[in-house]
Amino acid sequence: MGLNGKLSVIGGFVEGWTPTDEVHEYDPASDRWQRLTVLPTPRGALAAAVLDGKIHAVGGIGLQGRNTPVLREVLPGVRRFAMLTNSSNPSNVPERKEIQAAARSLALTVDLPEIQRAEDIAPAVEGLKGQVEALYVSPDPVLMANRISINTLANVARMPTISAQREFVEAGGLMSYGPSFADLFRTAAILSTRSCVGRRPPTSQSSSPPNST
C-alpha cells in the first residue's frame, strides 16, 4: 500500500502462518524502513485503501483463541472438547496453538483429530462420540464445504458445535463468534471504490467488530 511516495506493509503472517500486528513503512528516497504503530489486533490477508490522506485497513484473518472462553461461557459444564481442523492447511497452525493455550489457561482438555480430506471427517467426528462434550470447527475450505455433514454427525453424537463462521450455525451448529467476513469484504470494496472517486465513507463502516450468532 502506497501513501505520500512511501510503501506501507500492514499486518500479514510470520513464522507458521501466525498473524502479526506489525506495520512497517519504506521510504525509497532514503532507502530505509521504519516501524510504525502496531495494529489493534494481529491481522493477515487484510484489505487496505487510502482515503483523505490515511490508510484504512479492514478485514483479514486474526487469532481465534477467543472462541475457547466463549465456549466455556455458553457451556460452563464442559471440561473436554475437540478442535476439528485441517492439518494440511498452514493457516490453521497458529489457531491450534492459540486454542491449546486458551484451553490450558481455563483448565480444559482439548482433542485434536487429524483432518486432511473430506473422507477423514466422518470417522474423526464419530470417534469423538462419548469422549468430548463440545466441538470447535476451524475456518477451512474443506470443513466449510462439509459443514452440513459435520453438524449432522456432531448432533447425532450430542456434541454442540461452535465456529468463527455463521454458515455453520445456518447448517445446524450451536453458535458462531467472529467477524462477518461478508461485511468486512463489502466494507473494503466500499472504501476502495469511494477512495477512487474521492468520496468520504461513513465512519461506521471503517471496521467490523466480532459478532455472535
Per-residue model confidence as pLDDT tens for the chain (213 residues): 678 888 889 988 776 557 788 999 998 889 999 999 998 878 777 778 888 888 888 766 665 555 565 666 767 888 899 999 898 888 777 778 878 887 887 888 989 998 899 999 999 999 999 999 999 898 888 999 999 999 999 999 999 998 877 888 888 988 876 666 666 667 767 766 665 665 454 444 434 444 545
Q: Is the pTM above the cut of 0.75?
A: no
**Total number of residues shown for the chain:** 213
Please indicate, yes or no, whether residues 113 and 191 belong to a single structural domain of this protein.
no
- Local structure of residue 38 (DSSP, 8 states): P
Q: Are strands 211-212 and 175-178 parallel, antiparallel or unpaired?
A: antiparallel
How many folded domains does the chain comprise? 2
Using CA atoms, how far apart are residues 69 and 158, in angstroms rounded to an integer?
20
The pLDDT, as a whole number, for residue 190 is 73
C-alpha cell at 63: 487469532
Please indicate, yes or no, whether residues 87 and 114 belong to a single structural domain of this protein.
yes
Please indicate, yes or no, whether residues 147 and 53 belong to a single structural domain of this protein.
no
The pLDDT, as a whole number, for residue 89 is 85
Please indicate, yes or no, whether residues 9 and 105 belong to a single structural domain of this protein.
no
Distances (CA, A) of 213 to 77, 132, 143, 153, 210: 21, 23, 19, 20, 10
Please indicate, yes or no, whether residues 27 and 108 belong to a single structural domain of this protein.
no
The pLDDT, as a whole number, for residue 156 is 92
CB 179 within 8 A of CB 210: yes
Q: Does residue 105 sit in helix, strand or coil?
A: helix
Q: How many Cα atoms occupy the beta-carbon half-sphere of 147 within 13 Å? A: 24
Please indicate, yes or no, whether residues 11 and 33 belong to a single structural domain of this protein.
yes
Please indicate, yes or no, whether residues 15 and 114 belong to a single structural domain of this protein.
no
Using CA atoms, how far apart are residues 67 and 98, in angstroms rounded to an integer?
10
17: left (phi over 0), alpha (psi -120 to 50) or beta: left
Using CA atoms, how far apart are residues 68 and 108, in angstroms rounded to an integer?
9
Q: How far apart are the first and last CA of the chain?
A: 34
CATH label of the domain that carries residue 130:
3.40.50.2300
Kindly report the CA angle at 101 between 46 and 45, in degrees rounded to 5?
10
Please indicate, yes or no, whether residues 42 and 97 belong to a single structural domain of this protein.
no
CB 136 within 8 A of CB 75: no
Please indicate, yes or no, whether residues 165 and 199 belong to a single structural domain of this protein.
no
Helices 92-105 and 67-74, packing angle to 10 deg: 50
Please indicate, yes or no, whether residues 41 and 99 belong to a single structural domain of this protein.
no
Q: Which domain holds residue 115?
A: 67-178
Please indicate, yes or no, whether residues 72 and 151 belong to a single structural domain of this protein.
yes
The pLDDT, as a whole number, for residue 205 is 41
Handedness of CA 30, 58, 72, 86 (dihedral sign): negative
Please indicate, yes or no, whether residues 168 and 82 belong to a single structural domain of this protein.
yes
Using CA atoms, how far apart are residues 191 and 206, in angstroms rounded to an integer?
8
